[in-house]
Every structure is written in C-alpha cells, then in structure tokens.
Amino acid sequence: MSHSLGVYFLVALSLLLANTPFLTQRIFGVVKVQTPKSLGLRLLELVFFYGVVGGIGLFLEQSFGQIAPQGWEFYAITGTLFVTLAFPGFVYRYLLKHSS
C-alpha cells in the first residue's frame, strides 16, 4: 500500500467510524439494544472508535517506516478532528426532525 493510499484509507475509515455511533442503534455497530442509546453511550463509542482509528494509523505508520514522536498536541488535534468528522452524524441524530 502506498503512503497516499494509506492516508486516504485512514481518512475514509475515520469518517465512517466517527459517524457510526450516531447512525445506528447498535452498540459498537454490533450489539442490538431494545431502548434508544443515550448520548453518553454514543460518546463512549466515539472515544472507542477514535482509539481503533488511532491503532490502525499507528500500524500503517509503523509499516511505512519509523514512528514519529507524538505529544499531547497530536492527540488534542486528532481528537478534535475526529469529533469534527462526527458532526454530520450528530446533526442527523439530534438536530434534524424525523417523522414518527
């Protein structure tokens, strides 16, 4: 896999996983629940998926070469970016009116 293909894959995966907690009623996209998920559970899923994407990104970076040192700034920026990518799902779930 080339460097640019790996980056595009990671961005697309981030967009998909950031919106998954808001677009489905299943916990982690797998376990079906009877009652609607709470916002707290959705945010917990968002943090979990951020870790999944971070792990895949770390694996890709390691396969391309040496891993760059990452301080708190890196995690603050990538976390903010991940939350920004989750905005369309949040808008769909909480801000748009759905017919009942």
Phi, psi of 26 (to 5 degrees): -85, 140
As beta bridge partners, residue 32 has: 26
Q: Residue 7 domain-assigned?
A: yes
End-to-end CA distance of the chain: 46
Would you place residue 36 in the very low, low, confident or very high pLDDT band (cuts 50, 70, 90)?
A: confident
Q: Residue ranges of the alpha helices (H) in 1-100?
A: 3-23, 39-64, 72-85, 87-90
**By percentage, how much of the chain surpasses pLDDT 90?**
59
Contact, 2 vs 10, CB < 8 A?
A: no
Q: Side-chain half-sphere of 85: how many Cα atoms within 13 Å?
A: 23
User: Which H or E run includes 31?
Assistant: strand 31-32
When pLDDT is averaged across residues 28-41 and rounded to a whole number, the result is 87
Q: How many domains does the chain have?
A: 1
Q: Residue 86 domain-assigned?
A: yes
Q: Residue 100 domain-assigned?
A: no
Phi, psi of 58 (to 5 degrees): -65, -40
Q: Which domain holds residue 27?
A: 3-95
When pLDDT is averaged across residues 22-50 and rounded to a whole number, the result is 90
Q: Is the model's pLDDT at 75 over the cut of 70? A: yes
